Amino acid sequence: MLSVDDSGVLHDLVLAPPVAEWTPPRHAATRKFTEREVTVGSGALAVPGTVTLPRGDGPFPGVVLLTAGPFDRDLTTGPNKPFKDLAWGLASRGIAVLRFDKVNHVHPRVAAEPGFTMVEEYLPHAVAAVRLLQGQAGVDAGRVFVLGHSGGGKAAPRVAAAEDSVAGLVILAGDTVPLPRAIVRVAGYLAELDPGMAGMVESFARQAAAVEDPGLTAEEPGAELLFGWPGSYWLDLRAYDPVATAAALDKPMLILQGGRDYQVTVAEDLARWRAGLAHRADVVIRVHEADDHLFFAGAGPSTPADYESPRHVDPAVVAGIADWLAPRRGRLARLFTR
């Protein structure tokens, strides 16, 4: 659902969860891994997380998962938990995984505080998570990667630039179009699906114009701005180019995109990754044509209603990530699970 106040200001785009329980995907073999709770970060803004470790001696490659928005560690959306799908699926294939609740999920007040930026949203906890996973028994500290989805994918190059020990990046539906413009695009798409939403497009466009205003200051409170984020967040975002940041990294990357994704699109967002990283032999880009923004496979135009029925991340996505992170281990895992 869209969260809009009485004056028509957009505060968030939230998908209301129906009553349903998550069930494990078929590609997860719980006998092959263990899980334990951890704390990521320190002090008042510490957040809870989960380490999922393959059984055995290792050393195992590892990956830290980064969500977009104020989500929990599982990226819970309706009855679905895409990051839990990924964690269990990857651990079943010999990949250690650490996922954690976003700071603005556990401590929502921080997102409205003056001075809040993407740096505060991602870097302290992402870097702490990388180092925590590197210190786990059985994990190969030299092969800990970062995987980001949507806004987490956009932030992933910034995390790797800040923490040189990151071995490489996996970017799932990472957006590259400036966010205010993307919000207007998404609103227009949803209005085509539901004409009753047409009146909201103007409101979104007004808020998008406010955050793109050349006169915007860091001190501007978020009350009248998109998502309630203060001016400091939007100014920092203007100055950040995820593609250029990724291109400057000497690290391998896997970039995956859903062909049916209307939030982050092949035509606009992926095109920028392709153009900016075309010279890199160590960058692999793949499109899963049947998948939507959460990498759920389907047919026809994707809609928010798709997230309201129980689904799992496309097994081909899980297998592809595992094979890229650990090619030899991935091939062996498929042999033993046939």
Please list the active-site residues.
150, 261, 293
Beta carbons within 8 Å of 125's beta carbon, 6+ residues apart: 40, 41, 45, 47, 100, 102, 103
| Cβ neighbours around 313 below 10 Å, total | 26
Q: Which amino acid is residue 156, in one-letter code?
A: A
DSSP state, residue 59: P
Strand-strand pairing, 47-54 and 33-40: antiparallel
Q: What is the CA radius of gyration of the chain?
A: 19
Q: Taking Cα atoms as reference points, which of 56, 142, 147, 24 lies closest to residue 333?
A: 56
Three-state secondary structure call for residue 99? strand
Distance of CA 55 to the CA centre of its chain: 26
d(CA 35, CA 87): 10
C-alpha dihedral, 326 to 163 to 180 to 222, nearest 10°: 130
Q: Is 250 exposed, middle or buried (0-12, 13-18, 19+ CB in 10 A)?
A: exposed
